[in-house]
Amino acid sequence: MLINTIFCLVVALAITFAYPGHHAESYANLNQHHHDHHYVEDHHYGPAPYKFEYGVKDHHTGDHKQAWEHSDGHHVKGSYSLYEPDGTKRVVEYTADPHFGFNAVIANMRKLKQEMRRLAFDGIKIQNNNKFSTEIPGVRGCDNFS
């Protein structure tokens, strides 16, 4: 029995020494030079050109508006319009660029019938021959306008 135990120990030692050796992780070669090459793509994209437009005509709610805009990547130009609750149409036309910044021109346009009523209310009458005359109380010397 002692011979079997000694034989097993000798075989175990022989196998252990015959197996290729490795270092433990904690005793790894610290002088190993390690190169990590990290390639980072650096994209410098400028603004992309674009173009869009849309419109809404909802007769049920009375929502009527439209807009468009386009850009070449550096200069923007666009417009939008909508109807205010009083019936006035607001039109905004705008441009933007790096040199001049944002610039907008706003126009309010009343419907023709409303404008005619307002003019008549303010004392201006429209005659059948398409001439306008002013009748403002207390002001004299106003001639007909054609």
> Which residues in 84-123 belong to E strands, given as ranges?
89-97, 101-109
> Which residues in the chain belong to E strands, given as ranges?
50-58, 63-71, 76-83, 89-97, 101-109, 124-126, 132-134
Does residue 105 belong to any structural domain of this protein? yes
Does residue 19 belong to any structural domain of this protein? no
Provide the domain limits for residue 116.
48-122
Q: How many domains does the chain have?
A: 1
Note whether 43 and 66 are within 8 A (CB): no
pLDDT of residue 141: 47
Q: Is 29 left (phi over 0), alpha (psi -120 to 50) or beta?
A: beta
142, pLDDT greater than 50: no
At 52, is the pLDDT very low, low, confident or very high (cuts 50, 70, 90)? very high
85, pLDDT greater than 70: yes
Residue 135 CA: distances (Å) to CA of 36, 104, 110, 131, 142: 90, 37, 23, 13, 8
Of the listed ranges 19-23, 67-71, 131-135, the least confidently predicted one is: 131-135
Does residue 28 belong to any structural domain of this protein? no
99, pLDDT greater than 50: yes
At 69, is the pLDDT very low, low, confident or very high (cuts 50, 70, 90)? very high
Note whether 78 and 67 are within 8 A (CB): yes
Does residue 98 belong to any structural domain of this protein? yes
Does residue 69 belong to any structural domain of this protein? yes
Does residue 78 belong to any structural domain of this protein? yes
75, pLDDT greater than 50: yes
